[in-house]
Amino acid sequence: MSKGVLVNLTKCIGCGGCTVACKMYNGNKWIDDRAPSSGENAQLADENWTVIKKFNLCKDDQNQIWRFVKRQCFHCVSPSCESACFARAIQKKGEGATVYFPDNCVGCRYCMLACPFKIPKFEWDKAMPKITKCVMCYGRLKDGKSPACVSVCPEGVMKFGERDELLKEAKEIIASDSRYVKYIYGEKEAGGTNWMYISDVPFEKIGFNMNVVKKPLPEYTSLYMKCTPIFGAIWVVVLTLLYFITKRRNVIKNDSTELLYENSTGGKIDNNSTDENSKDKNSTNKKNN
């Protein structure tokens, strides 16, 4: 069964413990000088796989409130980044994690274009740059443990478990408590994600992309990918025909040039006979002299 995480944004206090755990477990550096991992300017980056972004909001147009949003890879059920990666550097695992294998990466950045959540990041400052992103602490998942960020949260913001069970629990929470928005982000986005969110404020006010299609993105490209060998074969035939047409055109051009030359000289010139005539003329001139 696919594992997942349910994030209850009403509980987050912005302590940043999850960002620390993420960096410690994955060996990532602190780069707050160019990409803070927490605060109003927090952003995902090559060394920031988990961030906590702060939002100042006015709830009900009266009371000002803070909300802290944890961001990381959503680990789609049908990841478009995997379908776009021809090098098999990104692979979906049965445990639910979408795992990145840097040794396979060629740095093409197709995954960055394919991801509807703009998660994969590029190592711009490296001599041999590659892609980086959260892998849901796959080493821990294989051992039956929760991701490092989940394990250190003091407020129980995140709950790790089977995706189906978490989705059922999320529906029960938002149905029984009037504070919550009646929506589960990640239930259907891009065909569903293994990281899901519930909130008491509209998701569009806290940085979530609400325009993500609900259908799994790989389904949009699967038909075209299946046709790729056919188009490849057609293109080979076209190039072959162009080669023979060009070759035939050159042959005809050469033949026409030779025929034109023959007509202008009254036939082909015999070099041997020309040489003999020249010799005869020379000898006659000598005798006369």
pLDDT in tens, 213-245: 998 877 665 554 445 556 556 767 877 887 778
How is residue 185 written in tokens? 């982000």
Exposure of 26 in the CB half-sphere (CA atoms within 13 A): 26
- Six token digits for residue 116: 């509807």
Portion of the chain with pLDDT greater than 90, in percent: 68
Kindly report, residue by residue over 51-84, the tens digit of the pLDDT. 999 999 986 667 789 999 999 999 999 999 999 9
Q: What is the mean pLDDT of residues 188-216?
A: 95
- CA 149 centroid distance within chain: 24
> Which region among 108-122, 150-164, 207-221, 264-278 has the lowest average model confidence (pLDDT)?
264-278
pLDDT of residue 126: 86
CA distance 71 to 121: 13
Quote the percentage of the chain above a pLDDT of 70. 81
Range with lowest mean pLDDT among 109-113, 234-238, 281-285: 281-285
The secondary element (H helix, E strand) that includes residue 21 is helix 17-26
Q: Is the dihedral of CA 44, 214, 204, 160 positive or negative?
A: negative
**DSSP string for 55-94:** EEEEETTTEEEEEEEEE----BSS-HHHHH-TT--EEE-T
pLDDT at 14: 97
Q: pTM of the full predicted structure?
A: 0.76
Q: What is the CA radius of gyration of the chain?
A: 35
How many Å apart are CA 162 and CA 56, to the nearest integer? 33
Q: Which helix (H) or strand (E) holds 276?
A: helix 271-288
What topology does CATH give the domain 3-216? Alpha-Beta Plaits (3.30.70)
Q: Contact, 98 vs 210, CB < 8 A?
A: no
